[in-house]
Amino acid sequence: MLQYEFMQNAFIVATVISILCGVIGVFITIRHLSFLTHTLSEIGFAGASFGLWLGWTPLNGMLLFTIFSALAAGTANRNRPLKSTVISLISAFFMGLGVLFLSISQANSSYATNILFGSIVGISNHDVIQILLIALGELVVVFLLYRRLKFTFFDPLGAQNSIRHSWAINLLFLIMMSLSVSVVSQIVGSLLVFALLTLPAAAAQFFGRSTSSLIGLSIVFALVGTWLGLFLGYLTNLPVTFFITTVETIIYLGSALINKSLTLGIFHKS
Protein backbone atom coordinates (compact mmCIF):
# COMPACT_ATOMS: atom_id res chain seq x y z
CA MET A 1 0.00 0.00 0.00
CA LEU A 2 2.79 2.44 0.92
CA GLN A 3 4.65 1.91 -2.34
CA TYR A 4 2.23 4.35 -4.02
CA GLU A 5 3.17 8.01 -3.81
CA PHE A 6 -0.45 9.11 -3.31
CA MET A 7 -0.74 6.81 -0.30
CA GLN A 8 2.56 8.09 1.15
CA ASN A 9 1.29 11.66 0.77
CA ALA A 10 -2.03 10.70 2.32
CA PHE A 11 -0.36 9.12 5.35
CA ILE A 12 2.01 12.05 5.87
CA VAL A 13 -0.80 14.59 5.70
CA ALA A 14 -3.13 12.46 7.85
CA THR A 15 -0.48 12.13 10.56
CA VAL A 16 0.38 15.81 10.71
CA ILE A 17 -3.26 16.88 10.61
CA SER A 18 -4.18 14.41 13.36
CA ILE A 19 -1.50 15.91 15.60
CA LEU A 20 -2.74 19.41 14.81
CA CYS A 21 -6.37 18.43 15.45
CA GLY A 22 -5.43 16.75 18.71
CA VAL A 23 -3.85 19.97 19.96
CA ILE A 24 -6.27 22.59 18.61
CA GLY A 25 -9.34 20.42 19.29
CA VAL A 26 -8.72 20.40 23.04
CA PHE A 27 -8.98 24.20 23.16
CA ILE A 28 -12.04 24.18 20.87
CA THR A 29 -13.97 21.71 23.01
CA ILE A 30 -13.20 23.29 26.37
CA ARG A 31 -14.69 26.58 25.11
CA HIS A 32 -17.61 24.86 23.32
CA LEU A 33 -16.60 26.31 19.95
CA SER A 34 -17.66 23.30 17.85
CA PHE A 35 -20.50 25.17 16.20
CA LEU A 36 -18.18 28.00 15.24
CA THR A 37 -15.80 25.42 13.75
CA HIS A 38 -18.63 24.19 11.58
CA THR A 39 -19.47 27.72 10.47
CA LEU A 40 -15.84 28.37 9.58
CA SER A 41 -15.82 25.22 7.47
CA GLU A 42 -18.92 26.37 5.58
CA ILE A 43 -17.22 29.71 5.00
CA GLY A 44 -14.26 27.62 3.83
CA PHE A 45 -16.49 25.86 1.32
CA ALA A 46 -17.41 29.22 -0.21
CA GLY A 47 -13.70 30.14 -0.22
CA ALA A 48 -12.71 26.91 -1.92
CA SER A 49 -15.26 27.40 -4.69
CA PHE A 50 -14.20 31.04 -5.00
CA GLY A 51 -10.60 29.82 -5.42
CA LEU A 52 -11.74 27.37 -8.07
CA TRP A 53 -13.51 30.15 -9.94
CA LEU A 54 -10.31 32.24 -9.95
CA GLY A 55 -8.17 29.26 -10.92
CA TRP A 56 -6.44 29.00 -7.49
CA THR A 57 -6.20 25.82 -5.45
CA PRO A 58 -9.27 25.25 -3.24
CA LEU A 59 -6.98 25.36 -0.17
CA ASN A 60 -5.85 28.92 -0.93
CA GLY A 61 -9.42 30.12 -1.47
CA MET A 62 -10.41 28.48 1.77
CA LEU A 63 -7.53 30.10 3.69
CA LEU A 64 -8.47 33.53 2.34
CA PHE A 65 -12.12 33.29 3.36
CA THR A 66 -11.67 31.65 6.76
CA ILE A 67 -8.85 33.93 7.94
CA PHE A 68 -10.76 37.00 6.84
CA SER A 69 -13.86 35.79 8.71
CA ALA A 70 -11.85 34.99 11.83
CA LEU A 71 -10.38 38.49 11.83
CA ALA A 72 -13.81 40.03 11.34
CA ALA A 73 -15.43 37.93 14.08
CA GLY A 74 -12.54 38.44 16.51
CA THR A 75 -12.30 42.20 16.17
CA ALA A 76 -16.04 42.89 16.02
CA ASN A 77 -16.85 40.77 19.04
CA ARG A 78 -14.15 41.19 21.61
CA ASN A 79 -16.36 40.58 24.57
CA ARG A 80 -19.59 39.04 23.35
CA PRO A 81 -19.92 35.61 21.75
CA LEU A 82 -21.88 35.54 18.49
CA LYS A 83 -25.54 34.58 18.86
CA SER A 84 -26.48 31.24 17.35
CA THR A 85 -28.98 32.90 15.01
CA VAL A 86 -26.21 35.15 13.66
CA ILE A 87 -23.96 32.10 13.19
CA SER A 88 -26.73 30.25 11.31
CA LEU A 89 -27.25 33.29 9.11
CA ILE A 90 -23.54 33.47 8.27
CA SER A 91 -23.43 29.72 7.54
CA ALA A 92 -26.42 29.86 5.21
CA PHE A 93 -25.13 32.92 3.36
CA PHE A 94 -21.70 31.42 2.74
CA MET A 95 -23.04 28.02 1.69
CA GLY A 96 -25.20 29.85 -0.87
CA LEU A 97 -22.17 31.84 -2.00
CA GLY A 98 -20.22 28.58 -2.40
CA VAL A 99 -22.92 27.15 -4.65
CA LEU A 100 -22.84 30.34 -6.75
CA PHE A 101 -19.05 30.24 -7.23
CA LEU A 102 -19.16 26.55 -8.10
CA SER A 103 -21.83 27.22 -10.67
CA ILE A 104 -20.10 30.17 -12.38
CA SER A 105 -16.70 28.45 -12.34
CA GLN A 106 -18.36 25.65 -14.30
CA ALA A 107 -16.43 23.08 -12.31
CA ASN A 108 -17.74 19.56 -12.62
CA SER A 109 -19.59 18.01 -9.71
CA SER A 110 -16.61 15.94 -8.54
CA TYR A 111 -14.91 19.19 -7.45
CA ALA A 112 -17.88 20.01 -5.24
CA THR A 113 -17.81 16.51 -3.75
CA ASN A 114 -14.07 16.78 -3.09
CA ILE A 115 -14.43 20.12 -1.32
CA LEU A 116 -17.44 19.05 0.74
CA PHE A 117 -16.40 15.52 1.62
CA GLY A 118 -12.62 15.45 1.22
CA SER A 119 -10.18 13.82 -1.18
CA ILE A 120 -7.10 12.90 0.77
CA VAL A 121 -5.83 10.35 -1.74
CA GLY A 122 -5.92 12.95 -4.49
CA ILE A 123 -3.62 15.36 -2.68
CA SER A 124 -0.69 16.88 -4.65
CA ASN A 125 2.93 17.25 -3.53
CA HIS A 126 2.50 21.01 -3.52
CA ASP A 127 -0.53 20.70 -1.20
CA VAL A 128 1.39 18.37 1.10
CA ILE A 129 4.17 20.91 1.57
CA GLN A 130 1.73 23.77 2.14
CA ILE A 131 -0.28 21.74 4.68
CA LEU A 132 2.89 20.68 6.51
CA LEU A 133 4.14 24.27 6.73
CA ILE A 134 0.80 25.58 8.04
CA ALA A 135 0.46 22.79 10.60
CA LEU A 136 4.06 23.18 11.76
CA GLY A 137 3.66 26.95 12.09
CA GLU A 138 0.55 26.49 14.22
CA LEU A 139 2.20 23.92 16.44
CA VAL A 140 5.16 26.24 17.07
CA VAL A 141 2.78 29.06 18.08
CA VAL A 142 0.90 26.73 20.43
CA PHE A 143 4.21 25.54 21.89
CA LEU A 144 5.36 29.09 22.66
CA LEU A 145 2.00 30.35 23.94
CA TYR A 146 0.99 27.07 25.56
CA ARG A 147 0.65 28.32 29.13
CA ARG A 148 -1.16 31.51 28.18
CA LEU A 149 -3.53 29.62 25.88
CA LYS A 150 -4.18 27.08 28.61
CA PHE A 151 -5.05 29.72 31.20
CA THR A 152 -7.17 31.81 28.81
CA PHE A 153 -9.14 28.82 27.53
CA PHE A 154 -9.42 26.60 30.61
CA ASP A 155 -10.18 29.40 33.06
CA PRO A 156 -11.17 32.61 31.24
CA LEU A 157 -12.50 34.31 34.38
CA GLY A 158 -9.38 33.54 36.37
CA ALA A 159 -7.13 34.62 33.50
CA GLN A 160 -8.84 37.98 33.17
CA ASN A 161 -6.73 39.55 35.87
CA SER A 162 -3.45 37.79 35.08
CA ILE A 163 -3.19 37.80 31.32
CA ARG A 164 -3.03 41.11 29.57
CA HIS A 165 -4.47 41.30 26.08
CA SER A 166 -6.33 38.03 26.40
CA TRP A 167 -8.47 39.28 23.48
CA ALA A 168 -5.33 39.11 21.31
CA ILE A 169 -4.81 35.49 22.35
CA ASN A 170 -8.45 34.77 21.48
CA LEU A 171 -8.03 36.43 18.09
CA LEU A 172 -4.83 34.53 17.39
CA PHE A 173 -6.61 31.31 18.28
CA LEU A 174 -9.48 32.14 15.92
CA ILE A 175 -6.93 32.53 13.13
CA MET A 176 -5.33 29.22 14.07
CA MET A 177 -8.80 27.67 14.03
CA SER A 178 -9.39 28.94 10.49
CA LEU A 179 -6.04 27.59 9.34
CA SER A 180 -6.83 24.23 10.96
CA VAL A 181 -10.30 24.07 9.43
CA SER A 182 -8.79 24.76 6.00
CA VAL A 183 -6.15 22.06 6.22
CA VAL A 184 -8.40 19.50 7.91
CA SER A 185 -10.95 20.01 5.12
CA GLN A 186 -8.35 18.57 2.76
CA ILE A 187 -8.82 15.20 4.45
CA VAL A 188 -12.42 14.93 5.57
CA GLY A 189 -13.99 17.74 3.55
CA SER A 190 -15.43 20.98 4.77
CA LEU A 191 -18.72 19.44 5.90
CA LEU A 192 -17.01 16.97 8.23
CA VAL A 193 -14.19 18.89 9.91
CA PHE A 194 -16.08 18.18 13.12
CA ALA A 195 -14.96 14.58 12.89
CA LEU A 196 -11.30 15.44 13.46
CA LEU A 197 -11.38 18.82 15.15
CA THR A 198 -13.84 18.06 17.91
CA LEU A 199 -14.66 14.35 18.29
CA PRO A 200 -11.18 13.13 19.39
CA ALA A 201 -10.81 16.01 21.86
CA ALA A 202 -14.34 15.46 23.18
CA ALA A 203 -13.61 11.75 23.71
CA ALA A 204 -10.36 12.65 25.49
CA GLN A 205 -12.35 14.71 28.01
CA PHE A 206 -13.72 11.49 29.48
CA PHE A 207 -10.26 10.43 30.65
CA GLY A 208 -7.74 13.32 30.67
CA ARG A 209 -7.19 15.33 33.85
CA SER A 210 -4.51 17.71 32.65
CA THR A 211 -4.17 19.71 29.45
CA SER A 212 -1.21 17.59 28.35
CA SER A 213 -3.06 14.30 28.88
CA LEU A 214 -6.11 15.70 27.06
CA ILE A 215 -3.89 16.67 24.13
CA GLY A 216 -2.04 13.33 24.15
CA LEU A 217 -5.24 11.27 24.14
CA SER A 218 -6.85 13.49 21.57
CA ILE A 219 -3.86 13.05 19.21
CA VAL A 220 -4.00 9.26 19.65
CA PHE A 221 -7.76 9.16 18.94
CA ALA A 222 -7.34 11.34 15.83
CA LEU A 223 -4.42 9.19 14.58
CA VAL A 224 -6.34 5.94 15.08
CA GLY A 225 -9.22 7.38 13.04
CA THR A 226 -7.18 8.73 10.13
CA TRP A 227 -4.76 5.78 9.84
CA LEU A 228 -7.52 3.20 10.12
CA GLY A 229 -9.66 5.24 7.73
CA LEU A 230 -6.91 5.34 5.10
CA PHE A 231 -6.16 1.64 5.51
CA LEU A 232 -9.81 0.57 5.27
CA GLY A 233 -10.42 2.96 2.38
CA TYR A 234 -7.49 1.40 0.51
CA LEU A 235 -8.73 -2.13 1.19
CA THR A 236 -12.36 -1.61 0.31
CA ASN A 237 -12.26 1.27 -2.19
CA LEU A 238 -15.01 2.97 -0.14
CA PRO A 239 -14.59 6.66 0.86
CA VAL A 240 -11.84 7.34 3.44
CA THR A 241 -14.00 10.07 4.97
CA PHE A 242 -16.72 7.54 5.78
CA PHE A 243 -14.25 5.36 7.69
CA ILE A 244 -12.66 8.27 9.54
CA THR A 245 -15.99 9.65 10.76
CA THR A 246 -17.20 6.16 11.70
CA VAL A 247 -14.05 5.31 13.66
CA GLU A 248 -14.13 8.66 15.48
CA THR A 249 -17.80 8.18 16.35
CA ILE A 250 -17.09 4.69 17.68
CA ILE A 251 -14.16 6.03 19.74
CA TYR A 252 -16.37 8.75 21.21
CA LEU A 253 -19.27 6.43 22.03
CA GLY A 254 -16.90 3.76 23.40
CA SER A 255 -15.18 6.35 25.62
CA ALA A 256 -18.54 7.57 26.91
CA LEU A 257 -19.55 4.00 27.70
CA ILE A 258 -16.28 3.16 29.48
CA ASN A 259 -16.50 6.38 31.44
CA LYS A 260 -20.07 5.63 32.48
CA SER A 261 -19.26 2.11 33.64
CA LEU A 262 -16.19 3.37 35.55
CA THR A 263 -18.32 5.97 37.34
CA LEU A 264 -21.00 3.40 38.18
CA GLY A 265 -18.29 1.02 39.42
CA ILE A 266 -17.01 3.67 41.80
CA PHE A 267 -20.53 4.27 43.11
CA HIS A 268 -21.00 0.53 43.73
CA LYS A 269 -17.75 0.31 45.66
CA SER A 270 -18.65 3.17 47.94
Partner 1 sequence: MTAQALIQVKNLKMRFDQHLIFENISFEVLQGDFFCIVGPNGSGKTTLLKILLGQLTPTSGQVQRQVDNSKIGYVPQFRNLDIEYPLSARSFVALKLSHSLIPWLSRSERQLVQNSLAQVHLTSKSSFRVGQMSGGEKQRAYLAQAIVNQPEILILDEPTASLDEHAKFLVMDVVQELNDRGTTVILISHDSSVLQRFGKHKLELTGAKD
Q: Kind and range of the H or E element at 149?
A: helix 125-154
Task: Report if residue 270 touches partner 1, rule: CB under 8 A.
Answer: no
* Smallest distance from partner 1 to CB 30, Å: 8
Instruction: State the alpha helices, DSSP H only, in 189-239.
Output: 193-197, 199-204, 211-236
Contacts of 16 (CB under 8 A, 6+ apart): 131, 132, 135, 136
Least Å distance between CB 241 and partner 1? 28
The answer to the question of residue 162 lying near partner 1 (CB under 8 A) is yes
Identity of the residue, 101 or 151, whose beta carbon is nearer to partner 1 in the bound complex: 151
Give dist(CA 31, CA 204) in Å, integer.
15
- CA nearest to 181, candidates 55, 81, 8, 33: 33
Contacts with partner 1 by CB under 8 A: the residue count is: 25
Q: Which stretch binds partner 1 (CB under 8 A): 4-12, 209-217, 222-230, 245-253?
A: 209-217
Residue 106 burial (CB count, 10 A): 9
Applying the rule CB under 8 A, the residues between 20 and 39 that interact with partner 1 are 30
Nearer to partner 1, 35 or 53 (CB): 35
Residue length of the chain? 270
Q: Is 158 in the site for partner 1 (CB under 8 A)?
A: yes
Would you say 210 or 237 has its CB closer to partner 1?
A: 210
Taking contact as CB under 8 A, which single stretch among the options 113-121, 127-135, 211-219, 248-256 is the one that binds partner 1? 211-219
Residues contacting 245, CB < 8 A, separation 6+: 188, 192, 195
Q: Does 161 bind partner 1 (CB under 8 A)?
A: yes
Return the residue of 56, 111, 146, 242 that touches partner 1, per CB under 8 A: 146
Pick from 139, 140, 114: nearest CA to 127: 114
**Which amino acid is present at 92?**
A
Of 79, 85, 108, 209, the one binding partner 1 (CB under 8 A) is 209
Distances (CA, A) of 241 to 231, 236, 270: 12, 13, 44
- Smallest distance, Å, CB 166 to partner 1? 10
Q: How far apart are CA 152 and CA 157, in angstroms?
A: 8
Of the pair 40, 219, the CB lying nearest partner 1 is at 219
Per CB under 8 A, the list member of 13, 134, 214, 219 interacting with partner 1 is 214
Q: Which stretch binds partner 1 (CB under 8 A): 52-60, 66-74, 144-152, 244-252?
A: 144-152
Count other C-beta atoms under 10 Å from residue 163's C-beta: 17
Judged by CB under 8 A, does residue 260 bind partner 1? no
Site residues (CB under 8 A) for partner 1? 30, 143-148, 150-151, 154-155, 157-163, 205, 208-212, 214
